[in-house]
Amino acid sequence: MLLEESYFTPFKASIQGMDLPERFTFPFYYQPHPLCILAAKELQDYLKTQQEWQHNFGLNGNTENAAGKMFGVLLVKNQRGEVGYLSAFSGKLADKSFLPRFVPPVFDLFAEKGFFISGQKTLNLLTEEITALEKSPSINDCKIALENVEHNADLAIKTHRAQMIAGRKTRKLQRVKAELELKHDDFLILKEQLSQQSIREKLQLRDLTGYWQEKISHAQEKLIQETLGLEALRKQRKDLSAELQQKIFTQYRFLNTAGVQKSLLTLFQKTAQIIPPAGAGDCAAPKLLQAAFKTGLQPLALAEFWWGSSPKSEIRKHLNFYPSCQGKCQPILEHMLDGIELDDNPLLANPAAGKNIDIIYQDEVMLVINKPAEFLSVPGKNIKDSVYLRIQQAYPEAKGGLIVHRLDMSTSGLMLIALTKEAHKQLQKQFIKRTVKKRYVALLDGTLEADSGVIDLPLRLDVDDRPRQLVCYEHGRNASTKWEVIERNNKQTKVYFYPLTGRTHQLRVHSAHVSGLNAPIVGDDLYGKASNRLHLHAEWIEFNHPVTKELMSFQVSEEF
């Protein structure tokens, strides 16, 4: 059997009459090619029926220790001109890196006689030794002794300072009384005596502080001497761990169509993070391309999908297709796809071309506009056309920041624009104090059972896959959304959203997340499925005019 045939999977279904892709998939934003959809369906049928290994995806109601998984399919042509596909999973599956039907990892980190297993054993032994030393009675005695000295020093100095304060008050009363009762010369003598008392107390504080500092330094030195061996072991473990990590980075080497090979370390050197993030190189897409290049298969198109229950932080829906992640995969795939003609990057196209901004209200200091969907609020990295640029061009005399608040590019609806610095300041102050009232309308992909509620899910940026947001209870910022159902129809639910905070992608994540409404907004290409548009619209806003303080409200109905 040829090496390519151990991974190459011919289609079970007939693909006669189906067109091949003209160019390879742009991996960071795409709609799967029909042949990739078919390949994914065949892989999914295999996942449903195979009995060779066991993994709890959480699809049978057993959520304990359930873990969904990202899978990928790579449409390929072999050297005989036959079209089929390769399959891969991200990371490990069923606690294994190698499984029948799936391509191997780029580098076998867990090879039995490999350096990583050996290095891990050494690190584990060092950790055990460090843990034992940390529990040493002599070290513990030194720590307690230092804590006692520091406590006694703090108590002694605080007591003396309190005595100084009391003495200062007593001397002040003595001076006041003496000035009224004593002769001038006697008053001067008493004043000098009181001054000397003050100096003595300050000198006593100096000596007391010096005494305790010396005792603390002595206790600290004893602890340092006692922990010299421990610190040496900690440094040894840290150095060995760093050395092991660097070696791993150099062993992950990625090919491209020209046969050029580059390591993880090299690929990430020119990125902002420099050090590759955990799991880089173990995603499905790099595995698939590496296997294709190694076995002489021609890559034609790529697709990745999620299989299983959603993770606690990310939004991943069973069977949904997802693009490759930016943080872990972009530097790798840019190299691996070098020399392959790709589909156009849709993220470089100006979505605002041919669209106009409707002005709902205008006076000398502000505007209320209706922003179209797929229209940036402020200039982006690659696209400058935006609400900010259009307003700047239309109102060249306007001063200040113009943009008071933002809407996501894909969200349509009402925005406030300030034409003066003072108006900008006053309007922003209302947003900061959360006195501005807003209502959004959204169409959700799913039928909600409850009629209303409040979602509280803290959010933070997914640094490995910008601009996606994660639910994170440890580092996330508080995010709260009130909602109520408008109507239910055709397995979809139209709702009102009242954001009580204003976090990035708040409504989109709160809709899609399994702990939120578990129903993505229709057309959400980040957290759900792409459609003609994101069905989210900022339809109503209420605020106080920045100059007259008059209560103002505006409403523009959605177009879906």
Is-contact 346 29, C-beta < 8 A? yes
Domains of the chain: 3-107+252-347 (no CATH), 349-555 (3.30.2350.10)
Q: Which of 108, 186, 239, 408 is catalytic?
A: 408
What CA–CA distance (Å, rounded) separates 295 from 291? 6
Residue located via tokens 């020209």: 258
Per-residue pLDDT reduced to its tens digit, 81-101: 999 999 999 999 999 999 999
Task: Please indicate whether residue 408 is annotated as part of the active site.
Answer: yes
DSSP assignment string, 273-335: S-SPPTTTT-SHHHHHHHHHHHTT-EEEEEEEEEESSPPSSS---TT-B-PPPHHHHHHHHHH
Q: 422 Cβ partners below 8 Å, 6+ apart?
A: 365, 546, 547
Q: 539 Cβ partners below 8 Å, 6+ apart?
A: 413, 414, 439, 440, 441, 555, 556, 557, 558
Nearest to 365 by CA among 549, 105, 189: 549
Beta sheet of 9-10, edge-to-edge order: 9-10, 83-89, 69-77, 298-307
Per-residue pLDDT reduced to its tens digit, 431-475: 999 999 999 999 999 999 999 999 999 999 998 888 899 999 999
Is-contact 84 71, C-beta < 8 A? no
C-beta neighbour count of 102 within 10 angstroms: 23
State how far the alpha carbon of 261 is from the alpha carbons of 252, 274, 329, 394, in Å: 10, 19, 16, 51
| pLDDT tens across the length of the chain (560 residues) | 445 567 999 999 999 999 999 999 999 999 999 999 999 999 999 999 999 999 999 988 777 788 999 999 999 999 999 999 999 999 999 999 999 999 999 998 887 678 888 899 999 999 999 999 889 999 999 999 999 999 999 999 999 999 999 999 999 999 999 999 999 999 999 999 999 999 999 999 999 999 999 999 999 999 999 999 999 999 999 999 999 999 999 999 999 999 999 999 999 998 888 889 888 999 999 999 999 999 999 999 999 999 999 888 999 999 999 999 888 999 999 999 999 999 999 889 999 999 999 999 999 999 999 999 999 999 988 899 999 999 999 999 998 789 999 999 999 999 999 999 999 999 999 999 999 999 999 999 999 999 999 999 999 999 888 889 999 999 999 999 999 999 999 999 999 999 999 899 999 999 999 999 999 999 999 999 989 999 999 999 999 999 999 999 999 999 89
Task: Write out the two tokens for 469.
Answer: 């947001």
Is-contact 523 535, C-beta < 8 A? yes
